[in-house]
Structure 1
Amino acid sequence: MSITLNSGSQRPAPAPLTLTPPLPKEGLLPRTSEDVALNYRTQYRPKLLAAYAAKRAAKAAGETYSGAPCINVLNITLCFDGTNNHEPSDKLGQPPSTSNVARLYHASVGADSGTEQSRANQMGFYRYYMQGVGTEFKEIGEFEPQDLGLIGAVGGENRINWSITRLLDAVGRACGEPYLDPDVAYELVQKMGTSFTEEMLGATLIKSGDSRRREALQAPLLALQKKVDFVHVRKTQPRIIGLRLYVYGFSRGAAEARAFATWLESLTQVEVEGETCYLFAGLPICIAFLGLFDTVASTGMAYAMPFAEGHMGWADDIMRLPESETFLERCVHLVAAHEQRTCFPVDSIRRKNTPDDPNGPSTYRTNTAEYLYPGMHSDVGGGYSPGDQGKSLGGPQDVMSQIPLHHMYAEAYAVGAPLQAPPNALSDEQKQDEPWLEMAEEVHDAFDISETLTLRFNTWLAHHKTGPLEDALAGEQALLTGWRINRYGSFHFRTTSAYQHVNGKDMTQEEWDALKALHERQLAENKANHEGQPLKELSGSTLATHQEYRALKQGYEQRVGSERPIDFNTHKAFEPTLDQRQMDRAMIEFGRDYDPSNWSLALAGDAISWATIPHLLFGGLIYLTNEQDEAQEYRDLRTSGNQAYLALYDLKTAEPLTDTARTLTDFFDEQVHDSRAWFMNSTALGEREVFSDYFRYRGIFFDTESNKSLSPVARAGQVIGVGIAVASVGLSIKRHDPRYLVGLLIPSLGIPVFRGKVGFPQVSAFDSVTGIALPMLDNLDNIRAFSKDPGDMLKMVKALPTPPALSAETATTPELQKLLKATEAAKALAKVKDLLDKLPDESKMGLLDQVKGALGSAGG
C-alpha cells in the first residue's frame, strides 16, 4: 500500500520534513557572550526600528531629534503543558519529571517572584504556565485531577481562555496596575467558555466560541485600552509599542497553543486604512515564535473504540496555522517518530496552500518547519523520569526528551525568545546589567545531556531516511518493528538492563488498591480543607482498613527498597507502578500479533467486530478507520519489519550484525519507551479489544486531510445522521474484523479469510438512559464513504438538518413516545432529589423511595 498522501493522484508530491540536525557534543545552549548578545539584538530590533521611525518623523517635521524615546515591547511567554503534566508538582519529584514545556518555562525570563525577575517584569518580560489537561488547575475551577481531562482533553478550552486573560494581566501590570484579580479572570474564563454540558448539547453550533470571547472581552479590552492611552499621555510608564508572544505547547497543550493562535488572530484582526493589523487593547500584537512538541488534539473515544480517531470540540477546524506572517512569524513542530497509539494521531503543520483546491500541493507555510525525533510521544515532549520502564538508568541526562528540548530552545533563541543562558555563557558585564538572564543551577541541570545519549541519537539520525512525514514515519515504524521482532517476539527483552531494573517491583493488586485508597483519602482531605468543611473521622472498621492500607504501603516501600516514603501527588491522577506487567504483556501481545496462528479465528466465523459506546461523553469530531486499510497496514508493516530485522540481526544468533545495529538496539533498549504498553496495561483499561495495534501506522491529520481513509461518525456529542436530538446518546458500530482480511493479502499465513463483500460499517444510535434505538436519516452513503480528505465530508455533515429535540410533537412512534415518558420521569426525579437534598435527614423518611415508585409507574 502506498503511504504518501498525494500518491495515485495528479497532485504534486507532498513537501518533505526539514532535516533534523545532528546534536553537537556540547549541546545547543548558548556558549559565549556573543551568542547572548545576538539574542538580545534580535529581541531589541522592534525597539530599534521604533527609534529609527521616531528619528525620521522628527526630521520630516523639521524638529530636533531629542534621542531614542522611552519605549517598551512586552515579551510574553505562554506555556501550555501536555496531558497529565503538572509543573508545580512534577518539579518536586526526585528527580524532577517536568516536561520540556515546563523546562522552557523555567528558562524563560519574566518570573513573578524574586528581585531580579521583578526587574525583568519592569523591562517588559512576563511568563505564564498552563498545566496539562487532567491535572489540578485551581485558577479555572479544577481543584482535583479529572479523568475526563486525561481521556478527552476536557478543560482544554478553559486553559486557552485563561491564557488570554494572562495578556490582560501583562498589559495591565506594564501600565502600573496590580495583578489581574484571579476571581475576575475566572469569571472571564467562564463567560468565554463552553461548559461540558453545553458542548454535549451542541451549544457551540448555536453560539460560536469566537462570539463568546468577543462578547466577554469587549469591556475589559476597552477599559485596558483607555488605561494604556492614559499612561502614554501621562508618560508615567515607558510607552508600550507592542506585544511579542513566545508560545510553547506539548501534546494536547500543543493543540491548545495552536487554538490560542487561531483564536487570538481572529480576536485581534482589524483593518486600519486598508491595511490588516493585529491589535490587543489598541497595541500591535504578534506571535514571534510558536514551538510545538508532537501535537495531539484527539478525542478520548479510542479508549473504548480502537478503530476511532478524531478531534476534541475546541480543536475542530482550528489546527491549521494562521497564514499571516505578520501575526505568526515562526513555527517549529517536533514530531515523535515511533508513537503508534490510535488515540494519539498527530496534527501536522503541513497543509494545502488553498484548502478548497483538491489538486493543490500539501506543503508548509513560509517560516515554519517540521522535524522528526525518535521515540514515543513523551520521549519528544518530556515527562518521563529516569527508570520509567527501566529506561535511562544513567539519570536525567540520559532521557531521550533532552535532545528535542535543546533543539526547541535553540530555535526559539535564534529568533530572540527571552530565554536565560548558562552562567558560563554570560560575560561579567551581562551578569551585572541583566542578572535575570542567568540560569539558576537547577534550571541549567535540567538541560544536561550525556555523551552516550548524544552518540546514540546521532547514530539513529545517520540511519534515518527523511521525506514527507507519512513516509518517514512508516520507515521508522518498520525499524521499531524489526527491533520488536528481536526483543519482544523471542522475549529477548528480558535479558536487558531495563527489564532487570523493573523485575519484581510491580505493585500487587492488594498494594495497588491500598495506595489508590490512600490517594483518594488525601484528595478528600484536600477537598474538605478547600471547602472549609471537616472531614469525617475514621473509626471502627474504616479506621482498621485505613491502617491496613498504610501497612501495605510501608510493606511495598520496603520490598522495592524505596529510599523514602512514597508521597502522593494529589495534583494528578493516581498511577500504580506496573512497569514489569507492561513489558511482559507487550511481549506477549506483540508475539500474538506477529504470529497469526495465535489469533484463533473461527473457520466459519462471521468476520464481524462490534464496538458499543454507552455514552458519547466527548464533543468534537470522531472518525472511523477502514478495516481494509488496517489489514493492508498489517501486511505492509509486518513485511517491512521483517526486512528491518534481517538488516539488523543475525538469523542464527539474533545478535546485531554491525556496530550501528548494536547502537540502535541499545538506543531502543535503554532510551525509547513503549507508550502503548503503558497505555494498555497501566490501569483498568486492560488490553485492547480490536485487532493488532502494534502493526498499525500512526494517524496523521494535515489540516482537513489525513494519511488514512476516514469516515465521520459523530460530531458535537451527536451521532451523525441521527434523526432526533436527546441529551444522552450512545453509539453502536458493526463492521468486518480486519484480521479475516489479512489472509487475502498474505495467503501464505494460512488463516481463515472473509469471502463476502466488504461494505460500509453499520452505524446506529440509541438513548443512553433507556437503550431505545434512535431513528437515523436515509441516504447517508456519501457521508459514510471513507476518504483521505474528510474535510469535504464535513461540509456535507454541516449541511445536514439539525435534528429536532425530543418532544411531544416529535415523538411520533411508540418507541419515541416511550423514550419521552422515561426522559420526563428522569427529569422529575432529579428535581425531587434536589429538593430532598435541602431537607433535614429526619424529614426524608423514605420519601425518595415512594417518589421513585410513583415515577416508575408513570414512566413505564
Structure 2
Amino acid sequence: MYEPIALKPGRPAPQSLTHTPKFPLEGLLPRTPDDVTVNLRQQKAAERQAWCDARIAAAKAGEAPPSPPCVKALNISLFFDGTNNHEPSDTIARPPTTTNVARLFRASLGSEENPEEHKEGYYRYYMQGVGTEFKEIGEYAPQGAGLTMAVGGENRINWGITRLLDAIGQSCGEPPLSMEKAYDLVQAMGISRLKETLTLGLLDGNARRKAALQEPLGKLEAKLAEQREQGSAAEIKAIRLFVYGFSRGAAQARTFANWLELLTKVEDGGENRYLFAGLPISIVFLGLFDTVASVGLAYLAPFAAGHMSWADDSMRLPDSPQFLKRCVHLVAAHEQRGCFPLDSIRRKDDPRNELSPSRYRAGTFEYIYPGVHSDVGGGYPPGDQGKARDGSQHVLSQIALHHMYSEAFKVGAPLQVPEMALSPEQSDTSPWLKMDRATLGAFAISEALITRFNAWQAQLSSGPLEVVMAKEAEMITAWRIDRFVHGSMDRQPFYRHISGDNAKDMTKEEREAFAYLHQLQMEQDAEARGAQPKQRHYRTEEQRQQAEAQAARKKAEAERIKADYEKRTGSQVNFNTHKEYDPPLEQRQLRNAALDFRRDYIPEWNMREGDGQGDWELQTATLVNALLGGLVYLTNEQDEAGEYERMRLLGDRNYPKLFSALDTPANEQAAQVIALYDDQVHDSRAWFMNSAINGREVFSDYFRYRAVFFDDESNKHLSLLARAGQVIGVGIALASIGLSIKRRDPRYLIGLALPSLGIPVLRGKVELPELPDITAFDSLTGIALPMQQGMDALRAFTQDTGSIVALANALPLPQPLSERTASTPELQTILKAADAAKALKKAEESGDFSGLLGQAMGLLGSADSPTQPSQPAWLEKASELAQEVVN
C-alpha cells in the first residue's frame, strides 16, 4: 500500500511537527499589564543595551553614571497578503472578508494616521495579494494573470524592500518616499518574465537589486552619520523586522527574507554581519500561514506542481539565527486541491547530502491546523458554504489568528492589546497600544468553536508533517463517506442554509450579466486610479455609433438581470473592483462535490473492457503555455493509484471512529469533531471546481494527498517539465510552448490493485511507462515541435527534485527562433505567426492597423504546412550537447 514516507536506506526519519496546542477558553490575547511590559522590554532592548554600554564606559573612566542616551530601534512590520486578498476593500465588505494577515496588520503599531507611533520607531506596511489592484506598482485593476501565474509577485517583494527605505528616511526627518521614486526602484530591481525566459533565469536578481539600491542606501547612510555626529536626532541602533504572509504572500515573505539576507550580509573579521544603510538589521519574527508558491501552474494544469519564478531557490529559510531569529508556520490539515502544494519549512540539514536528515532549523516551528487553505489563513466570511452561520467569531481561522498573534507578541512584536491588559500608566504614556473596537472585534472567538477545536486537537496524531497530514485526510474522508455517499448532507444545517429558498446560486445568464457589469465598473475605477483609458478603434463614425448603442443595450439588459436577482434573493450586490468577480454558487459547489466524491468512492466510472493495448485507458491533458517561469513538474499516476487505495481503505476504517450509524456520532468527542467538519471546515476543492475552472480537475479528485515540498525534496514522485522558461526536451526558444501530456488513468491502475471494487480487470499485458509521454507544440499555431532525444535522466520521476534541477541548469541554452534556425516548413510557419502576433500587439497599442493584412495573408499561405515536425540539423546538435550533460 502507498506510504506517506518512503525513506532511502540509511536515512533517518524526518523530524516531527511541533504538536498543535490546546486552545484556552479565554483566548490568546494578552490579559495583564505584566504581559505588555515584557513585550515592550523586548522592543527596547537596543536602548537598554546602549545605556548599559554607556554606564560601563563611564565607570571605567571614573565618571558619574550618565543619563539614558537618546537612541532607539526601528520596529518595522511587513505584511504580504494572499492571492486575491485586498485589505482595504475586504475590510469594508459586509461581512468583512479580511485574512489573518490583514487583521494582524490592523493590530500592529506604525499607523500613518498617528505620527507618535512613527516617532517611537514603529512602522507598518501592507502588500495586497497578487491578482488584486495595487496602483503603487502600476496594477490599476485586478489581474487574472496575478491569480493564475503569479504576475506581480516579484514587484510586491521589491516594494517591501522599498518600505525599509521609507521607514529609515522618515525616521531621519525626511518626507515619505514618493510613489514615483519607489515605483522606479521596483522596476529597476525587477526581472521581467520575458527577460527570464530569454536568459533561462540566468539574470542575477541580487545584482540588480544591489545596483538599484546603491544610491538611495548611500544617501541614507550619509544622513544617519550626519545626525549621529550632530546629535540632532535619536540615534538608530538597529532595525527589527516582523514579517507575515499567507498563501503566495507567505512565499513572498520567505523570498523577501532570502533576498534581504543577500543584500545585507557583510563579512567583518571572519564573522557575518547584516547591515542595511549601515544599520544592524534582523528579522525577529517570520509568521507564515500555509505557504503556497505554485498556485498558478495548476490553474492551467492541475496535474502539475512546482514553483513560480521568484520562488525558485528562495523557499528555504535563511540558515543564520542571527539574521532570522524565529519563524512560525501554520499549515492546513485538510487542503487537497491538486493545484495548492504546500511548501514546508522543514529541509535537509545539508542540501548536498541525499542522506542528510530532514529537520527544522533552530528557532523554527511548524504546526498543523484543521481546515483548508483559508480556514488557516483567513478570508472566509461567516455563512460561506453554510459555515460559521452565526457570525465571524465562529470562523475557523480565528484559532490560527490568535496563535500567530501570541507567537509574535511573545518575541516583542509591536502589536496593539485589549484595553483590559493595560495599566492606567501604560494607557496614559502609550495610548496607541490600545486596540480600537473594530480591531478587537476582528479577534472575537466563540466558546463553541474553541470546544470543537479542542476535541479535534485531542485526536490529532504526532509525527512528521506528511504523516499527520495523511491521517487528517483519511479522517475527513470518513466524514465525507457519511455526508456525501450515504446522503446525510441534505439534512445538515450547513447545507440547508445555502439550498432551497435560501439558495443564492446564480444562473448562467445572471453570472454573465454580473461579470459584464463588474468589468465595466472595473475599467472606470482603474482609469480613476491612474490607468490609461481603454482604446477602442472604429473604422467609421457609423460603426462607432452602432457599437456604442449595442453596448448601451447590453448594459441595460445586464442591469435588469441584476435588479431581478437582488429582488429574488433579497440582497443588494456591490461590486469590489479591486478584485476579480466571484459569483455565488455555494449550493452547486457542495452538491457537485458530493457527486464527485460518491462517483469515485462507489465507484461509478463506467470503464469498459479492452485488450489493454489501446489508448482508451489513457488520459490526455494540455498545458497551454509551459513558459510560466520557475519550475513545473508532472505528478506520477502510479502514486495516485496507491493514494486512492490507501485513502479509501482508511476512510472506511475511520468511519466507526466518527459514526456509530448513519448520521449518528460515535461519542461526544466524535460529535464535536463532526460539528467542526460540518460547521467550520470549508471545501476549497468544491469552490475551485465550480467557480474557478467550472469543472472537474484533470487527473485529480478527493482521494489524493496534498503535495508537499521540503526545500528541494517532495513527498511526491515528480518529473521535471520546465524550468526558468525552458521546456525540457525542446531545443528552441519561443514566447509560448504548449505541452500535451498523456498519462495512464490512475483509476485503471486502481482496478488492477483492487479488483473487489468491481472494475473489470483488463486482459493482456499492462505496460506502464517509466517516463511520461509528452509532446510539445507551438501555442500560436498548434504545430508540433521537434523534441530532443536523450532526456531520460531528466524525465525520470523522483522525490529528489534538487538533483534533477541541477542537471537542468547545466543544459545548453535553447536556440532562439529566427530566420536562420527556422529551417523547416513548420518552424517557418511558427516564425510567421510569432511575427504576426508581435505586429498585432504593436497595432493595438498604437491604433495603427495598416500593414497587418500582408502578414495575415502570408500566414494563411502556409496553413497547409504539415503538423508533424521535421528534424532540423541544429536540433540534432543540441540533443548531442544535452545528452553529454545528463549522461
TM-score normalised by L of structure 2: 0.92
* Equivalences for residues 18-29 of structure 1 within 5 A: 18-29=18-29
- Alpha carbons 1:6, 1:13 under 8 Å: kept: no
CA distance in 2, matches of 1:704, 1:53: 44
Structure-2 residue corresponding to 1:506: 505
Q: Does 1:579 align with 2:586?
A: yes
Q: Aligned in 2, Cα 1:238/1:599: closer, same or farther, shift over 3 Å?
A: farther
In the TM superposition, what is the alpha-carbon distance from 1:773 to its structure 2 partner?
Answer: 2.3
* Equivalences for residues 79-228 of structure 1 within 5 A: 79-113=79-113, 117-199=114-196, 201-203=197-199, 205-228=201-224
Structure-2 residue corresponding to 1:12: 12
In the TM superposition, what is the alpha-carbon distance from 1:774 to its structure 2 partner?
Answer: 2.2
Structure-2 residue corresponding to 1:552: 561
User: What letter matches 2:812 in structure 1?
Assistant: P
Structure-2 residue corresponding to 1:682: 691
- Alpha carbons 2:46, 2:72 under 8 Å: kept: no
* Equivalences for residues 803-814 of structure 1 within 5 A: 803-814=814-825
* Equivalences for residues 606-621 of structure 1 within 5 A: 606=615, 607-616=617-626, 618-621=628-631
In the TM superposition, what is the alpha-carbon distance from 1:126 to its structure 2 partner?
Answer: 0.3
Q: Secondary structure at the match of 2:272?
A: strand
CA distance in 1, matches of 2:378, 2:840: 48
Structure-2 residue corresponding to 1:780: 791
In the TM superposition, what is the alpha-carbon distance from 1:552 to its structure 2 partner?
Answer: 1.7
User: What letter matches 1:774 in structure 2?
Assistant: L
In the TM superposition, what is the alpha-carbon distance from 1:704 to its structure 2 partner?
Answer: 0.6
Structure-1 residue corresponding to 2:393: 397
Deviations, residues 287-325 of structure 1 (Å, cap 9, x unaligned):
000000000001422223222111100001110000100
Structure-2 residue corresponding to 1:542: 551
Structure-2 residue corresponding to 1:743: 751
Q: Please, which of 215, 235, 242 is the counterpart of residue 238 of structure 2?
A: 242
Q: Please, which of 681, 686, 708 is the counterpart of residue 672 of structure 1?
A: 681
In the TM superposition, what is the alpha-carbon distance from 1:686 to its structure 2 partner?
Answer: 1.9
User: What letter matches 1:521 in structure 2?
Assistant: L
In the TM superposition, what is the alpha-carbon distance from 1:752 to its structure 2 partner?
Answer: 3.5
Deviations, residues 212-236 of structure 1 (Å, cap 9, x unaligned):
1111111111111111111111222
Instruction: Decide which moves more: 804-813 or 174-183.
Output: 804-813
Q: Aligned in 2, Cα 1:247/1:847: closer, same or farther, shift over 3 Å?
A: closer
Instruction: Decide which moves more: 825-834 or 121-130.
Output: 825-834
Q: Aligned in 2, Cα 1:312/1:753: closer, same or farther, shift over 3 Å?
A: farther
Q: Does 1:710 align with 2:718?
A: yes
Q: Aligned in 2, Cα 1:33/1:832: closer, same or farther, shift over 3 Å?
A: closer
CA distance in 1, matches of 2:417, 2:457: 27
- Alpha carbons 2:200, 2:725 under 8 Å: kept: no
Deviations, residues 640-675 of structure 1 (Å, cap 9, x unaligned):
111111222134x44212111211111101000000
Q: Percent identity?
A: 53
Deviations, residues 671-703 of structure 1 (Å, cap 9, x unaligned):
00000000111145322232x420000000000
Structure-1 residue corresponding to 2:432: 436
CA distance in 2, matches of 1:533, 1:611: 38
Deviations, residues 374-428 of structure 1 (Å, cap 9, x unaligned):
0000000000000100100010000000000000000000000000000111111
User: What letter matches 2:75 in structure 1?
Assistant: N
Q: Aligned in 2, Cα 1:534/1:657: closer, same or farther, shift over 3 Å?
A: closer
CA distance in 2, matches of 1:168, 1:197: 28
Structure-2 residue corresponding to 1:841: none
Alignment RMSD (CA, Å): 2.0
In the TM superposition, what is the alpha-carbon distance from 1:152 to its structure 2 partner?
Answer: 2.0
Structure-1 residue corresponding to 2:55: 55
In the TM superposition, what is the alpha-carbon distance from 1:818 to its structure 2 partner?
Answer: 4.1
Instruction: Decide which moves more: 577-586 or 149-158.
Output: 149-158
Q: Secondary structure at the match of 2:350?
A: coil
- Alpha carbons 1:833, 1:848 under 8 Å: kept: no
Instruction: Decide which moves more: 602-611 or 214-223.
Output: 602-611
Q: Secondary structure at the match of 2:619?
A: strand
Q: Aligned in 2, Cα 1:668/1:811: closer, same or farther, shift over 3 Å?
A: same
- Alpha carbons 2:382, 2:390 under 8 Å: kept: yes
- Alpha carbons 2:140, 2:531 under 8 Å: kept: no
Structure-1 residue corresponding to 2:602: 595
TM-score normalised by L of structure 1: 0.95
CA distance in 2, matches of 1:21, 1:675: 25
Q: Please, which of 857, 867, 876 is the counterpart of residue 853 of structure 1?
A: 857
Deviations, residues 481-532 of structure 1 (Å, cap 9, x unaligned):
0000000112211111111111122111111111111111101212343358
CA distance in 1, matches of 2:798, 2:855: 52
CA distance in 2, matches of 1:818, 1:532: 34
Q: Please, which of 669, 672, 678 is the counterpart of residue 660 of structure 1?
A: 669
Deviations, residues 350-377 of structure 1 (Å, cap 9, x unaligned):
0111111111111100011000000000
Q: Please, which of 749, 755, 765 is the counterpart of residue 776 of structure 2?
A: 765
- Alpha carbons 1:6, 1:12 under 8 Å: kept: no
Q: Does 1:255 align with 2:263?
A: no
User: What letter matches 2:595 in structure 1?
Assistant: I
User: What letter matches 2:237 in structure 1?
Assistant: I
CA distance in 2, matches of 1:215, 1:820: 36
CA distance in 2, matches of 1:364, 1:398: 32
Q: Secondary structure at the match of 2:330?
A: strand
Q: Does 1:793 align with 2:804?
A: yes
CA distance in 2, matches of 1:394, 1:852: 60
CA distance in 2, matches of 1:202, 1:472: 42
Structure-1 residue corresponding to 2:301: 305
Instruction: Decide which moves more: 56-65 or 765-774.
Output: 56-65
Q: Please, which of 729, 734, 745 is the counterpart of residue 737 of structure 2?
A: 729
Q: Does 1:39 align with 2:39?
A: yes
Structure-1 residue corresponding to 2:883: none
- Alpha carbons 1:156, 1:314 under 8 Å: kept: yes
Structure-2 residue corresponding to 1:517: 516
Q: Aligned in 2, Cα 1:354/1:567: closer, same or farther, shift over 3 Å?
A: same
User: What letter matches 1:785 in structure 2?
Assistant: A
CA distance in 2, matches of 1:158, 1:602: 53
Q: Aligned in 2, Cα 1:761/1:192: closer, same or farther, shift over 3 Å?
A: same
The count of corresponding residues between Structure 1 and Structure 2 is 845
- Alpha carbons 2:726, 2:814 under 8 Å: kept: no
- Alpha carbons 1:742, 1:753 under 8 Å: kept: no
Deviations, residues 511-564 of structure 1 (Å, cap 9, x unaligned):
1111111111101212343358699999644333322222221221221222xx
Provide structure 1 residue ranges, at least 5 long, that are not aligned to the other structure: 839-843
CA distance in 2, matches of 1:398, 1:832: 54
Deviations, residues 541-596 of structure 1 (Å, cap 9, x unaligned):
4333322222221221221222xx21100000001000000000000000011122
- Alpha carbons 1:291, 1:408 under 8 Å: kept: yes
- Alpha carbons 2:311, 2:630 under 8 Å: kept: yes
CA distance in 2, matches of 1:152, 1:599: 36
Q: Does 1:635 align with 2:631?
A: no
Instruction: Decide which moves more: 443-452 or 509-518.
Output: 509-518
CA distance in 2, matches of 1:831, 1:681: 36
- Alpha carbons 1:525, 1:535 under 8 Å: kept: no
CA distance in 1, matches of 2:102, 2:839: 48
User: What letter matches 1:582 in structure 2?
Assistant: Q
Structure-1 residue corresponding to 2:830: 819
Q: Does 1:464 align with 2:460?
A: yes
CA distance in 1, matches of 2:392, 2:54: 50
Q: Please, which of 325, 329, 335 is the counterpart of residue 333 of structure 1?
A: 329
In the TM superposition, what is the alpha-carbon distance from 1:92 to its structure 2 partner?
Answer: 0.2
CA distance in 1, matches of 2:402, 2:525: 37
CA distance in 2, matches of 1:763, 1:772: 14
CA distance in 1, matches of 2:744, 2:580: 36
In the TM superposition, what is the alpha-carbon distance from 1:819 to its structure 2 partner?
Answer: 3.3
Q: Secondary structure at the match of 1:734?
A: strand
CA distance in 1, matches of 2:193, 2:201: 14
